[in-house]
Amino acid sequence: MEISTCTIEDLIRLQRQGVSAEEITQAALGEIERRDSAIRAFIDVHAEAALAQARAVDEKRRRGEVLGPLAGIPIAIKDNLCRRGWRTTCSSRMLKDFRPPYTAHVIEKLEAADAVLMGTTNMDEFAMGSSTENSAFFPTRNPWDLERSPGGSSGGSAAAVAAGMVPAALGSDTGGSVRQPAAFCGIVGLKPSYGRVSRYGLVAFASSLDQVGPLGRSVADCACLLQVIAGHDPRDSTSVPRDVPSYLSELFNLKRPLTVGVPREHFAAGLDAEVELAVRQSIRILEQQGATIREISLPHTADAVAVYYLIATAEASSNLARYDGMHYGHRTPRRGGLIETYCRSREEGFGHEVKRRIMLGTFVLSSGYRDAYYVRALRVRRLIKEDFDRAFRECDVIMGPTTPTPAFRLGEKSSDPLAMYLSDVYTISANLAGIPAISLPCGWTRSGLPIGVQLQAPFFEEARLFAIAHALEQAFDRRRTKPAVNG
């Protein structure tokens, strides 16, 4: 069975026509076996568990039981989402043998929806990175060009979807870690509003910024996944008790008249010419469909990267303090006293980028510097949110590039952390403001690399994003949908 270009909707239709969930799962496992040796998207593939889930779906269907909305659909999971009994490594030596005693809320929701969980995907260690090169185990490669990065930190999930190994996956987005890989890999990725999806069972990087989000081959795939995983969870104190709309129904409910805000700060120096051309063509598509295009300003955009790397590293320093070599995780085999054991365990367990961010975060929280750096960053974060509040009084959605360039080559930015950090310059602000944002493919470079366009909406307006993104998706030339690695 050829499933490498099937969407969730396609696979549901195939099952209605008599194809079994087990056949679909076998086909997905076959794609993983054929392709993942080159791409390295997966940390662990749980073939037997996936087949058992698929057979359970087929048995429920034979008995005439009501099936969940994702029945028989293969889904990949980023390796920072806990599932009881499975390894959850965060692509770190610190957790290389960790098996959590509980399951993340979003995985519970997927299993209740009868999804088939295929395994865990590679990522930047503890979600700290933009290229999936910071994994302690191996880099993941972009299916469109194996010499290039799939983005990060959810690069494994994005590459698995783009390469046709699974139709959809879950990632996490702290500063663009779902949307930037989606743009680099030519798929759709959504960062929901902060509080829309429970973070229970998501290994924390920066708790005020992290959010679980879906990646899929279409806008409808992401809408279907969000429909399942969204909703209040009392185990997460930041989860908002708010009703979840019918996102699939809202795909065809585009409200008009529509005003699209285009931030002048997103079309400044550093933006690749081919990316700008494709994004401006996307803006013209909405204009041709009757939207009003309005230039707007987000004046604190220039401060977003600095603010993000103060707040995120401070929270990372606090969250990662629990990995001390005593309770769980890596413990040095060398004998020594308590402090020496702490130091050696953390030195051996953490990679270079994680250490860099822990040190930065510890510095900005230290006595004499907290007010000058961390507290000041929180104040500017508030100004960034107020920029969006003002903009949304003038427009319904904000539109611009997802990334300043197409996918860069592996190793190209490894020696220049600032250049790597700037690859998230357009995505970071949505996390700081807590608003939803979606990336979808809008074209290709002359060399055949995907380009992504980003839409941002007010707090809890994911349905609006889906409707506008779906209208755009229908207008795009979708003929080039298979990466070169698929032949």
What sections of 7-112 are H helices per DSSP? 8-16, 21-39, 47-62, 105-112
pTM of structure: 0.96
What sections of 208-295 are H helices per DSSP? 219-229, 247-250, 273-288
Q: Region 245-258: what's the mean pLDDT? A: 93
Residue 359 to residue 316: CA distance in whole angstroms: 10
Q: What is the pLDDT of residues 60-117, one digit of tens each?
A: 999 999 999 999 999 999 999 999 999 999 999 999 999 999 999 999 999 999 999 9
Strands of the 188-191 sheet, one edge to the other: 42-45, 116-121, 74-78, 168-172, 212-216, 188-191, 437-444, 450-456, 397-401, 259-263, 292-296
Q: What is the pLDDT of residues 157-202, one digit of tens each?
A: 999 999 999 999 999 999 999 999 999 999 999 999 999 999 999 9
Q: Return the CATH fold of 8-260+393-486.
A: Amidase signature (AS) enzymes (3.90.1300)
Residue 44 to residue 428: CA distance in whole angstroms: 29
CA distances from 191 to 24, 157, 209, 383 (A): 28, 14, 11, 21
- Helix, coil or strand: residue 143: coil
Mean per-residue pLDDT of the chain: 96
- CB distance 399 to 260 below 8 Å: yes
Q: Region 331-338: what's the mean pLDDT? A: 90
Residue 224 to residue 169: CA distance in whole angstroms: 12
Count of CB atoms within 10 A of residue 477's CB? 9
Residue 479 pLDDT exceeds 60: no
Residue 213 to residue 225: CA distance in whole angstroms: 9
Q: Categorise residue 465: left if φ over 0, alpha if ψ from -120 to 50, beta otherwise.
A: alpha
Residue 477 pLDDT exceeds 90: no
Q: What is the pLDDT of residues 193-240, one digit of tens each?
A: 999 999 999 999 999 999 999 999 999 999 999 999 999 999 999 999
Write the burial class of residue 285 (CB in 10 Å: 0-12 exposed, 13-18 middle, 19+ buried). Answer: middle
- CB distance 349 to 330 below 8 Å: yes
Residue 313 pLDDT exceeds 50: yes
Higher-confidence position of 487 and 390: 390
The whole-number pLDDT of residue 89 equals 98
Q: Which amino acid is at 359?
A: M
The upper half-sphere exposure of residue 87, i.e. CA atoms within 13 Å in the direction of its Cβ, equals 19
What sections of 350-426 are H helices per DSSP? 352-365, 376-391, 417-421
Residue 193: φ, ψ to 5°? -60, 145
Residue 480 pLDDT exceeds 60: no
Q: 356, 384, 345: which is closest to 134 by C-alpha? A: 356
Q: Which amino acid is at 409?
A: R
Write the burial class of residue 257 (CB in 10 Å: 0-12 exposed, 13-18 middle, 19+ buried). Answer: exposed
User: Which residues on adjacent β-strands are paired with residue 172?
Assistant: 212
The whole-number pLDDT of residue 335 equals 82
Share of residues in the chain with pLDDT > 90 (%): 92
Residue partners of 243: CB distance under 8 A and separation at least 6: none
The whole-number pLDDT of residue 105 equals 98
Residue 475 to residue 250: CA distance in whole angstroms: 18
**What is the pLDDT confidence band of residue 3, given thresholds at 50, 70 and 90?**
confident
Retrieve residue 258's tokens: 């529509």
Residue 22 pLDDT exceeds 60: yes
For tokens 């799939």, the residue is 150
Write out the catalytic residue numbers.
78, 153, 177
Residue 144 to residue 409: CA distance in whole angstroms: 12
The whole-number pLDDT of residue 4 equals 87
Nearest 5 degrees, angle CA 84-CA 88-CA 90?
Answer: 155
Q: 426, 463, 445, 389: which is closest to 130 by C-alpha? A: 426
The upper half-sphere exposure of residue 89, i.e. CA atoms within 13 Å in the direction of its Cβ, equals 23
Q: What is the pLDDT of residues 266-303, one digit of tens each?
A: 999 899 999 999 999 999 999 999 999 999 999 999 99
**What is the pLDDT confidence band of residue 481, given thresholds at 50, 70 and 90?**
low
Strands 116-121 and 74-78: parallel
The whole-number pLDDT of residue 1 equals 64
Q: Region 11-15: what's the mean pLDDT? A: 97
Retrieve residue 160's tokens: 């698995």
The whole-number pLDDT of residue 482 equals 67
Q: Categorise residue 213: left if φ over 0, alpha if ψ from -120 to 50, beta otherwise.
A: beta
- CB distance 3 to 217 below 8 Å: no
The whole-number pLDDT of residue 30 equals 97
Q: What is the pLDDT of residues 427-458, one digit of tens each?
A: 999 999 999 999 999 999 999 999 999 999 99
What sections of 63-154 are H helices per DSSP? 105-112
